Amino acid sequence: MNGIKITSEDKFSIYQPPSEQPVAVVPDGTTCIDVARNVVQRSKHEQDWDESFFVCDVGWILDQNKRWKKELPRVEVYYAVKANSLQPVISTLAALGCGFDCASKNEIAMVLNYGVSNDKIIYSHPCKFTSHILFAKDKGVDTMTFDNEEEIYKLKEFYPEARLVLRLRVKDNGARTKFGDKFGASLEYSKDLVTKAIKLKMNVVGVSFHVGSGCPSIDSFATAIKDSRRIFDFARELGLQF
């Protein structure tokens, strides 16, 4: 992948990194558009520079992380790797001590490769391949989601020590990408799943939800949090402390 660096004269210089995508420091006031335009101009004079490239403002990631910690100090970040898995993004978040939401074996392997500890990873797909469960077990990634009875039996057989997070189905009206039709258990079914997990002596530790990508509705979050509280209270009545 093509990269950007800055010379001592504070001018853009194009180069081909040996392996990883680089993180470069640019002069104050430089924007991503400035960098992109410079690459395009330089590419007119270079051979084999008709390929696509990416420009990422890592400083923006740092600013957003700082803002999150200020506004939501009690909430620990678990970044969804599927959103953007480029090296500068993942390595920056790892250096900041963030956790990671991984939906597959490959995503888990990639995050571990950046030195992230296994207790900083949630295996978030509610329907997992057996081989991927065994991979997570081998790597010590024990927190994972579920939304159906079959998944409980599967985990009971192949990873009984797992820490389970129940995925609720929530209202995702208005979201650009909806997931309620595919994933998540209704409120009543969630109670059945918690009861089943207790009977099988599986360790349910909490709940999760997804209001859909690009959800513009604050009400969707509020409703999801209310439903989560209901499941917390129901579990407490059965002797669980999420």
Q: So what's the architecture of 125-237 in CATH?
A: Alpha-Beta Barrel (3.20)
Task: Identify the pLDDT of residue 36.
Answer: 81
Tens-place pLDDT, residues 59-91: 889 999 999 999 999 999 999 999 889 888 898
The better pLDDT of the pair 223, 38 is held by: 223
> How is 20-41 classified by DSSP, letter by letter?
SPP-----TT--HHHHHHHHHH
Which residues are 204's β-sheet partners? 164
Name the residue type at position 8: S
Task: Identify the pLDDT of residue 31.
Answer: 82
Separation CA 56–CA 43 (nearest Å): 19
The CB-based long-range contact list for 78-86 (8 Å cut-off, 24+ gap) reads 78/120, 78/122, 80/124, 81/107, 81/110, 81/111, 82/107, 85/110, 86/21, 86/54, 86/56
Domain boundaries, the chain: 3-43, 125-237
Q: Is the pLDDT of residue 20 over 70?
A: no
Q: Please, are residues 177 and 158 in contact by the beta-carbon 8 Å criterion?
A: no
Task: Identify the pLDDT of residue 14.
Answer: 35
Q: Where does the pLDDT of residue 49 fall: very low under 50, low under 70, confident under 90, or very high at 90 and above?
A: low
Separation CA 232–CA 242 (nearest Å): 7
| pTM (predicted TM-score) | 0.78
C-alpha separations of 101 from 79, 116, 199, 222 in Å: 5, 12, 28, 22
